[in-house]
Amino acid sequence: MAPGRYRWGYIFFAAALVATALGLFRGEHLGVLDKAITLCLECLGLR
Amino acid sequence: MRGDRVGGNLGRRRRWTQWVATLVANAYIPGFYLGALYRGPLKAACIPVLNCYSCPGAIFSCPIGAAQNAVVRGYFPFYAVGFLAAVGAMVGRLPCGWLCPFGLFQDLIGGRADRRRRPLPRPVAWGKYAVLALLLPVAALPSGPLDIGYERFCTYLCPSGTLGGSIPLLIADPTLRTLIGPLLAWRVLLLAGVVVAGAAFFYRPFCRSLCPLGAGLGLMNRCSVLGIRTDPSACIDCGACARACPVNLDPVAGGTQNGECIRCLRCVGACEAGALEFGRHAMCAGGDCR
């Protein structure tokens, strides 16, 4: 078993995977795709 | 055997890894001469490095931009934050040291790391945590009359976007040049002043002072599953690891768990006694590894 504080690494990792899966389930990756394929002039400092 | 030469094979392997990661992250080569973005399905995937998704070569997405955009759209970014936290919980800031294209850029422009080992003032180093803490709340603020856009880190601060996105697109697409204004001037000033000029004096000035991605991953350095293990019984107190560290940490004194450690592993390469090793903490015999 992981000693001391490193146990938290496993716990955080598991929690983060759950959050990622939740995000995927909610379709957030489609929002990321939608944003990332559109030229964002503001993000480029061009407006 | 100092600076970039520390570690021999490990140092060369790291530089090769940085180049491969940069090329893979920006593999859409036609984008650079067409001035167009890659629009394939891979763009839905985040990668744990600061590589602007508005870079014409980018085939993946930046989790910092994705997280801000989710807030702008009105929901909490479970996907982007969860992904970043998962990477951090597994390897801490390892992607900063080994994968980040913007980290590679700073490594290349600054020359040998041992000439830039000046300690960064603590308030400056805390800047990246402030940027991380404000990233999502500020993205949620309504836009004012003098304000443009909502992904405000991308709009006002991110030099990776200026280098990888604005400049290549302006070169490739003449019509965009009519949009050049004070905001781009500010961003170029930030890139030139903080990153390029700063790199002459400090190792990786942007990563250490303003990068929210590095701050987020660094928070996990202390407890990440994989990390730099120290074996006190093998340490001969020669101090080679501390002298090799480009961010002025002492690995034997717990510096490898510090959020400033970018896990470049120079210390591992510099340790001739074999007291430092990158691996899974749980493998430490007796659970007393630090």
Question: What would the pLDDT profile of B67-88 be if each residue is shown by its tens digit?
Answer: 999 999 999 999 999 999 999 9
**Per-residue model confidence as pLDDT tens digits over B101-114:** 999 999 999 877 66
pLDDT of residue B145: 66
* Torsional sign, CA B91, B94, B95, B99: negative
Are the CB atoms for A32 and B162 separated by under 8 Å?
Answer: no
Q: What is the mean pLDDT of residues B24-34?
A: 95
Q: Which ipTM score applies to this complex?
A: 0.92
Q: Residue B95: which of B24, B21, B44 has the closest Cα?
A: B21
Q: What is the mean pLDDT of residues B207-225?
A: 95
Are the CB atoms for B45 and A43 separated by under 8 Å?
Answer: no
Q: Which amino acid appears at position B19 of this protein?
A: W
Cβ pair A8:B82 closer than 8 A: no
Tokens, residue B45: 């995937």
Q: What is the mean pLDDT of chain B?
A: 90
- Residue A4 pLDDT grade (very low, low, confident, very high; cuts 50, 70, 90): low
- Whether pLDDT at B289 is above 90: no
* Contacts with B2 (C-beta within 8 Å, 6 or more apart), sequence order: B114, B243, B244
Minimal CA separation from B28 to chain A, in Å: 13
Which chain B positions have a beta carbon within 8 Å of A32's beta carbon? 43-44, 46, 61, 66, 69-70, 79-80
pLDDT of residue B283: 45
pLDDT of residue A3: 56
Cβ pair B85:A19 closer than 8 A: yes
Give dist(CA B15, CA B18) in Å, integer: 5
pLDDT of residue B114: 64
Least confident residue range of B131-140, B142-151, B241-250:
B142-151
pLDDT of residue B111: 73
Cβ pair B52:A2 closer than 8 A: no
Q: What is the mean pLDDT of residues B252-281?
A: 92
* Contacts with B192 (C-beta within 8 Å, 6 or more apart), sequence order: none
Most A-contacting residue of B79, B83, B151, B166 (CB-CB within 10 A), to test interface: B79
Cβ pair B41:A15 closer than 8 A: no
DSSP state of A2: -
* Contacts with B276 (C-beta within 8 Å, 6 or more apart), sequence order: B228, B229, B230, B231, B241, B251, B256, B267, B268
CB atoms within 10 A of CB B270: 25
Cβ pair B187:A17 closer than 8 A: no
- Whether pLDDT at A18 is above 90: yes
Q: Tell me the backbone φ, ψ of residue B258, rounded to 5 degrees.
A: -70, 145
Tokens, residue B242: 């501390």
Tokens, residue B49: 């490095």
Question: Would an 8 Å CB–CB cutoff place B44 in contact with chain A?
Answer: yes
Most A-contacting residue of B68, B78, B154, B162 (CB-CB within 10 A), to test interface: B78
Percent of chain B with pLDDT over 90: 77
* Contacts with B290 (C-beta within 8 Å, 6 or more apart), sequence order: B229, B230, B232, B254
Are the CB atoms for B116 and B199 separated by under 8 Å?
Answer: yes
**Per-residue model confidence as pLDDT tens digits over B249-266:** 999 988 999 999 999 999
Give dist(CA B53, CA B31) in Å, integer: 12
Residue of B nearest to A27 (CA): B79
pTM for this predicted structure: 0.91
Give dist(CA B6, CA B266) in Å, integer: 6
Q: Please state the three-class secondary structure of chain B as a single string.
A: CCHHHCCCHHHHHHHHHHHHHHHHHCCCCHHHHHCCCCCCHHHHCECCCCCCCCCCCCCCECHHHHHHHHHHHCCCCHHHHHHHHHHHHHHCCHHHHHCCHHHHHHHHHHCCHHHHECCCCHHHHCHHHHHHHHHHHHHHCCCCCCCCCCCHHHHHHCHHHHHHHHHHHHHHCHHHHHHCCHHHHHHHHHHHHHHHHHHCCECCHHHHHCCHHHHHHHHCCCCCCEEEEECCCCCCCCCHHHHHCCCCCCHHHCHHHCCCCCCCCHHHHHCCCCCEEEEEHHHCHHHCCC
Q: Which of A4, A6, A24 is nearest residue B79 as measured by Cβ atoms?
A: A24
Q: What is the mean pLDDT of residues B55-67?
A: 96
- Residue B1 pLDDT grade (very low, low, confident, very high; cuts 50, 70, 90): very low
